Structure 1
Amino acid sequence: MDNYQIINKIKSGLIVSCQALEDEPLYSSFIMSKMALAAEEGGAVGIRANSVVDIAEIQKSTALPIIGLIKKDYADSEVYITPTEAEVDALVLVGADIIAMDATNRPRPNGESLDTFFKRIKEKYPNKLFMADCSTYEEGIHASELGFDIVSTTLSGYTKETKGRLLPDFDMLKKLVDSLDIPVIAEGGIWEPAQLKQAFDLRCHSAVVGSAITRPRDITRHFIAAIKEN
């Protein structure tokens, strides 16, 4: 698929995030590939996946567009979603259809700004689709100005400035949709079908749901919390 086809393939649909970190029981590229296949059979239009090994395995199970990222910690930065050029290179090499990266205003490793970093990346890969994971409306606008192809609400609530914000961040989503002419993806804190419907009522291009579908430990905790409230 070319970029136009990828953008249209995910339009008005559900993207399922199939991720498991090392401390989670389902940490396995094989398991994530089966999660992706199950998501496709359930009607998903795309997959969001972390790491080269998971993406490569998922590609064997489904032909759905993949939003790829690499989570990696660097000692000198709070940015951990595709933080450096090395991660971008690896995602291009494995063939991720869309590359997601942190587009907050936080400095990247070695103190590099998003502006400097993305300018270099876009010049290196001018035909690649890039998705900006943002935490605020202002960051989403700035990402669009920098040349990102897609903006998302992924990091709302996960930065110091937005900690404690009520999720899903429908206010941020609405303002971005009203302001931008590029796709805006709703992501973060969607646990109920009614919340998903509300995101589409606000005219998001598509929406990502992860924990509520593919993280049984978190799903169990979600239900346990309801019991404790009673």
Structure 2
Amino acid sequence: MTSALPLADALAGRLIVSCQAPPGDPMRDTGTLVRMALAARSGGAAAVRVNDPEVVAAAVATVGLPVIGLWKDGDDGVFITPTVRHALALVAAGAAVVAADATARPRPDGSTFAQLVEAVHAEGALVMADVSTLDEGREAARQGADFVGTTLSGYVPGSPAGTGPDLALVADLAAAVATPVIAEGRIATPDQAARALAAGAHSVVVGTAITAPTALTRLFARRLTA
């Protein structure tokens, strides 16, 4: 896989680890998340995906891998890097790539995804479009996204919910757009990650299965008490 973007070439066929923790989780601490990212680097990750400008800045300063930054603000509708302001704060923190919701839902500041892309590109960074459907991915690519991720499939009304990764969407996007497609969402095993690449993904993001001890412990505990 080749691309006009040097970073895309560096990520081709590689693993990106999402180093995040939800509000209230004991792991939600900047130092802890940076150490998580360092562990991901030691394990062979090609990049990390982290939330919040403070964590982005710390990861950029410490980890030595490309950082895909996002800023989750709110808990309903568009909350992954919801505005141009959020996106530019991530660029200022050093993110090589800004990940942002690129679904068809309205953004809280009334801006468009295309405006966010333009603002981020003007500052010299790239954009990863988090989408939930084929049509959204096509539109994000048309609006200038540098990467298209399947991150939101199953989490937005109108996209298919499931327990595993949406490999059909990965394949459809890979066939429909020239933009590198990043498989993300509910990838729980190395075999699923490999299947995502086989389906046409340029790179694969894994989060919970690697970096979420609270969620993983809960799975085991619930199974033993079922």
Assess same fold via TM > 0.5: yes
CA root-mean-square deviation: 1.9
Corresponding letter in the other structure for 1:81: I
- The letter for the 1-side match of 2:14 is G
Aligned pairs for 1:136-151 (under 5 A) are 136-151=133-148
CA displacement at 1:228 relative to structure 2: 5.4
Distance 1:7 1:46, change over 3 A: same
| Distance in 1 (alpha carbons) for counterparts of 2:155 and 2:225 | 25
Query: Cα distance, 1:8 vs. partner?
Result: 1.6
Give yes or no for the alignment of 1:114 onto 2:113: yes
Which residue identity does 2:93 align to in structure 1?
V
Indicate the residue corresponding to 1:36 in structure 2.
Answer: 37
Following superposition of structure 1 onto structure 2, how do residues 183-222 of structure 1 map, counting pairs within 5 Å? 183-222=180-219
- 1:85 corresponds to 2:87: no
- Change in 2 beyond 3 A, CA 1:73/1:227: same
Q: Is the 8 A contact 1:118 1:146 kept in 2?
A: no
1:169 pairs, out of 144, 163, 166, with 166
Residue identity opposite 1:69 in structure 2: L
Give 3-state SS (helix, strand or coil) of 1:132's partner. Answer: strand
Pair 1:112–1:165, CA change in 2 (3 A): farther
Shift of residue 124 of structure 1? 3.8
Post-superposition offset of 1:213: 0.6
1:19–1:50 CA contact under 8 A, matched in 2: yes
CA distance in 1, matches of 2:122, 2:96: 16
Distance in 2 (alpha carbons) for counterparts of 1:25 and 1:40: 22
| SS in structure 2 of the partner of residue 118 of structure 1 | helix
| Structure 1 residue 119, shift from structure 2 partner | 6.0
Partners of 2:52 and 2:17 in 1: how far apart? 15
TM-score by length of 1: 0.90
Which stretch of the first structure deviates more once superposed, 145-154 or 196-205?
196-205
Shift of the 33–181 alpha-carbon distance from structure 1 to 2, 3 Å rule, reads same
* 2:149 counterpart residue number: 152
2:16 maps to what in 1? 15
- In 2, the alpha carbon distance for the partners of 1:227 and 1:30 equals 32
Uncovered stretches (5+) of structure 2, i.e. residues with no partner = none
Flag the 1:124–1:60 CA change in 2: closer, same or farther, 3 A. Answer: closer
Whole-Å Cα distance in 2 between the matches of residues 166 and 112 of structure 1? 33
Number of aligned residue pairs: give it.
223
Whole-Å Cα distance in 2 between the matches of residues 58 and 111 of structure 1? 31
Amino acid in structure 2 at the alignment position of 1:84 = T
CA distance in structure 2 between the aligned counterparts of 1:186 and 1:114, rounded to whole angstroms: 20
